[in-house]
Amino acid sequence: MRQQPGRVTSDLTISADGYSAGLDQTEKRPFGDDGGDGTGEKLHAWMFDAPDENRPEIERMAAAQTYIMGRNMFGPVRGDWDRPWNGWWGDEPPFHAPVFVLTHHAREPQPMGGGTTFHFVTDGIESALAQAHAAAVGGDVAVQGGATTVNQYLAAGLIDELRLHIAPFTLGAGTRLFDGVPPLNLEQVHARATGLVTHVTYRVLS
């Protein structure tokens, strides 16, 4: 019997003007000019400064069985894998699951501590999703980011549920959610605000 695939979700923290990261990412500043120190700490203050208040949203993010991310979310290396890079997250990344990294440059799978393995997918977003579904054996797949990757999946009609976490500042430039995505009809299925963020969950209708 074939397993039914799970849902495809995406959690993205954005500024009030829709940016998930600023311009000019570097190794020391994975979020670039993000209105803070480049580590995304201002965007993600809701997770790190007020985890108790935002516990349901944090737990829901971690409920996915597998993850998909873009090359820039994985790291600052461009082109060939010509220097060692195993992600921004140290020896034990917080995913504890297979993570499928979109890239144009082939690389062997990279097992990490705590159950995370990075798989590198060179044949496109549909292939990455098929592999992520297979590895999730019926569980949810999360398109982790960044916005460029989320936009590709949205444009292809492949995301079921989009969970936005809107932080109270604007960036003015960077990588923007919905850029280049044809108009979408959404159903607002849940929303609530805590001190530092507004959470909105949309079901993507078309």
> Judging by beta carbons within 10 Å of its beta carbon (0-12, 13-18, 19+), is residue 180 exposed, middle or buried?
exposed
The only residue of 58, 130, 158, 200 in contact with a copy of itself, by rule CB under 8 A = 200
Closest separation in Å from C-beta 105 to a copy of itself: 32
Task: Give the footprint of a copy of itself on residues 146-175 (CB under 8 A).
Answer: 164, 166, 168-172
**Interaction of residue 192 with a copy of itself, rule CB under 8 A:** yes
10 Å CB burial of residue 161 (0-12, 13-18, 19+) is buried
* Contacts to a copy of itself from residues 61-90, by CB under 8 A: none
In the complex, least distance from residue 125 CB atom to a copy of itself, rounded to whole angstroms:
19
- Cβ atoms of residues 65 and 142 within 8 Å: no
Q: Is 12 in the site for a copy of itself (CB under 8 A)?
A: no
Measured between alpha carbons, how far is 107 from 101 in angstroms, rounded to an integer?
Answer: 10
Q: Quick one: which H or E segment has residue 61?
A: helix 55-61
Residues whose CB falls within 8 Å of the CB of residue 2, separated by 6 or more in sequence, listed in order: none
- 181 interacts with a copy of itself by CB under 8 A: yes
Q: Say whether residue 137 binds a copy of itself (CB under 8 A).
A: no
Among 7, 96, 107, 190, binds a copy of itself (CB under 8 A): 190
Q: Count residues contacting a copy of itself (CB under 8 A)?
A: 31
Is residue 68 a contact partner of residue 92, using CB atoms and an 8 Å limit?
no
Contact residues toward a copy of itself (CB under 8 A) are: 16-18, 35, 164, 166, 168-172, 177-178, 181-188, 190-193, 195-198, 200, 202
